[in-house]
Chain A
Amino acid sequence: QQQVKQSPQSLIVQKGGISIINCAYENTAFDYFPWYQQFPGKGPALLIAIRPDVSEKKEGRFTISFNKSAKQFSLHIMDSQPGDSATYFCAASSYGGYQKVTFGTGTKLQVIP
């Protein structure tokens, strides 16, 4: 079964701190791992994504760490800000055209001042 497990379910971080969200997958055919950010009442938007040929990708304050052997990947948000408060979904797909995306269960992040 194509599953993506995500933890924690919720996270409270002080402003300026580091937010860390973890995901694990089972299907070794997955070769594209995006993170989506969703604000209440809105559709998700792509935040950052990684392919398994690299172990880390950084875009501004957001970093994905990828461990292919462990089939795990994580999102690190450095210098977390109140505006980062949202629900974050990790996802995975077998990219190659229009392969469907499997989403994790989501993490609700709250950054407090």
Chain B
Amino acid sequence: GAVVSQHPSRVICKSGTSVKIECRSLDFQATTMFWYRQFPKQSLMLMATSNEGSKATYEQGVEKDKFLINHASLTLSTLTVTSAHPEDSSFYICSARDPAAINTGELFFGEGSRLTVL
């Protein structure tokens, strides 16, 4: 199946700093990628839909200025957590659909990035 890579897998930062998480589709081009947030023992909550070459679409309640999403190319989307605070600590996961597998509807997920804000 298609491969989605996330980096870094773990990041620890001080409160007030910004952190960037990268999501890459390694063997396919993704015009759309999705960013999820997952709290311990909870489900995946969609944060935003990242569209290549245009602005991201944010879900209700997600702060656009806090979580900056950039989808500059067909294989790369980035999530920047700005002025991070301890409550932003979470597991962030990106996903994408492979156009070649569009008939299956399958989402391919990255390995996730564990953010800890001290």
A94 to chain B, nearest CB (A): 10
Q: Can you report 18 residue pairs joining A to B where beta carbons are below 8 Å apart?
A: A32-B105, A34-B105, A34-B106, A34-B107, A36-B107, A36-B109, A41-B114, A43-B110, A46-B106, A89-B44, A93-B105, A97-B102, A101-B34, A101-B46, A101-B107, A102-B46, A106-B42, A108-B41
> Given the known A-B contacts A100-B34, A105-B43, A108-B41, are A43 and B111 also in contact in the complex, defined by CB atoms under 8 Å?
yes
- Contact across chains for A44 and B44 when beta carbons are under 8 A apart: yes
**B residues within 8 Å of A by Cβ?**
1, 4, 6, 31-32, 34, 41-44, 46, 49, 93, 95, 97, 102, 104-112, 114
- B112: which of A42, A46, A89, A108 is its contact (CB, 8 Å)? A42
The number of inter-chain residue pairs (CB within 8 angstroms) is 54
Q: Give the A interface residue count (CB, 8 A).
A: 23
Residues of chain B with a CB closer than 8 A to A44's CB: 44, 93, 109
CB-CB contacts below 8 Å: A32-49 with B = 32, 34, 36, 41-46, 49
Residues of chain B with a CB closer than 8 A to A104's CB: 43
- Does any Cβ of B come within 8 Å of A66's Cβ? no
Residues of chain A with a CB closer than 8 A to B41's CB: 106, 108
- Contact across chains for A43 and B97 when beta carbons are under 8 A apart: no
Add 18 more A-B contacts to A41-B114, A100-B49, A101-B34 (CB < 8 A): A32-B105, A34-B105, A36-B109, A41-B112, A42-B112, A43-B93, A43-B95, A43-B109, A43-B110, A45-B109, A46-B1, A49-B105, A98-B31, A98-B97, A100-B34, A100-B46, A101-B46, A105-B43
